[in-house]
Amino acid sequence: MNMKKQTILMIIALFFVSFNLRISIAAISPVLENIRADLHLSNGIVSLLTAIPVICMGLFAFFAARISAHIGLEKTIVACLILIGTATALRAFSHSAFTLLLTAFFIGIGIAVAGPLVSGYIKQQFPHRIGIMIGVYSVGMGLGASFSAGFMLPLQKHLLHSWQLALASWSIFAVIGFLFWYPQITNQNKITLPSKRTTKLPWKNRKAWMFTLLFGLQSGIFYTISTWLAPIAQSMGFSSAKSGTLITFFTIIQMIFSFLIPTLADLFQKEKTWLLGSIGGVFIGLIFFLYPVVNPWFATGLIAIGLGGLFPLALALPLNATNSSNEASAWTSMMQGVGYMIGGIIPIMAGLTRDYIPYDKQVFVVMIILCFVMILTLSGWKEKRTITSTDA
């Protein structure tokens, strides 16, 4: 097989793996009210369906490199696809809160281990195309989220109005991802990431903590929007179908700009400026929901543009700020591990505010506060493309 064809197949495989890393989470939002009503759950409990996978993405991210060191990166990602697909399929039998939350837990483990390894795969196989490949990675996740959010309600309708069967049906994409990724196991350029036992995490580095906080807050805002945008839209008078379309619109816009913004940031540099601009888009969109002087679709589009930029820009921060792949791996592990745990707590907080604060837009107020925290965090950052691991 010539190098060009092999590279194309690697990119396709990477895309389909990425496609599976958000699809089972995004599918929840359009049927969240159905799940809550059928299983008699509070808003705080039902928010765990999104929060648990995100918290797992933090807790288990620290184990990704160790597992990969033992069995190989390619085999580890195959195992993750099998775990995600199996847990998603088991949602067909989720007739209680416990079983549904258990599937969310195992899906979270699969995503947690696969996510950092995909970043490692990009770092090793495409060292001179990091911005573009992070764009492919983000687009894959965005498309997966968009498909599941957009087709969830029609799928439910055609599957005997069963949200269980509709949720389980997304496991087919794990099978597709498996088929495309499996040939990478026989690829001669196999990757083994360094064990985290031999890589010092930058726990005492101020800038690493700043990146971690930024990553966690943007993650929390994204998953809060993914969880609560449809229910809030319904409380504003949207039908179930129209609220599902709003989620699809959000994910499509977010996906497009998750490729455009990091590509432009690579060309024009100035990471801090792009980050502040992305936060500004989210902030203005949230304000427009509180004070509806514009159409909710326009406000949703602004939030999607901002979040589309924030995720890949945050993901690239450790790669641009460190001097070696081992150092970048350590920073990324800390950033995603702690960051996703922060991000997982935020949707729970949002759900609790809906239970205890009698105001239908309280979730947007929480996220506006988080935008302020991100801006304050960035205000102390003196941007520099490369730093040493001892910088504190």
Contact 146, 252 (CB under 8 A): yes
Rounded to the nearest 5 percent, the helix, strand and coil shares of the chain are 80, 0, 20
Under the banding of pLDDT at 50, 70 and 90, the label for residue 103 is very high
Half-sphere exposure of residue 256, counting CA atoms within 13 Å on the CB side? 10
- The predicted structure's pLDDT at residue 339: 92
Least confident of 56-60, 90-94, 161-165: 56-60
- The predicted structure's pLDDT at residue 387: 39
* pLDDT tens by residue, 221-267: 988 887 788 888 888 888 878 887 888 888 789 888 988 888 888 77
Least confident of 96-105, 194-203, 209-218, 229-238: 194-203
- The predicted structure's pLDDT at residue 188: 52
Q: Where are the domains of the chain?
A: 3-379
- The predicted structure's pLDDT at residue 326: 64
Neighbours of 59 (CB within 10 A): 17
Q: What is the pTM of this model?
A: 0.78
Confidence check: pLDDT of 307 > 90: yes
- The predicted structure's pLDDT at residue 198: 47
Q: Own/partner pairs for 120-128, CB < 8 Å, 24+ apart?
A: 120/65, 120/68, 120/73, 120/191, 120/193, 120/329, 121/14, 121/73, 121/77, 121/191, 122/14, 123/319, 123/325, 123/328, 123/329, 124/191, 124/325, 125/10, 125/189, 125/191
For the chain, give the mean pLDDT: 85
Under the banding of pLDDT at 50, 70 and 90, the label for residue 310 is very high
Confidence check: pLDDT of 299 > 60: yes
User: CA of 161: how far to CAs of 170, 185, 199, in Å?
Assistant: 16, 39, 50
Contact 321, 382 (CB under 8 A): no
* pLDDT tens by residue, 328-362: 767 877 888 899 889 888 888 888 887 887 766 78
Q: Which CATH number fits domain 3-379: 1.10.10.60, 2.60.40.1220, 1.20.1250.20, 2.120.10.80?
A: 1.20.1250.20
Mean pLDDT of 3-16: 86
The token pair that represents 302 in the structure block: 């602004």
Confidence check: pLDDT of 54 > 70: yes
* pLDDT tens by residue, 149-194: 888 989 999 998 999 999 999 999 999 999 999 888 876 555 555 5
- The predicted structure's pLDDT at residue 14: 92
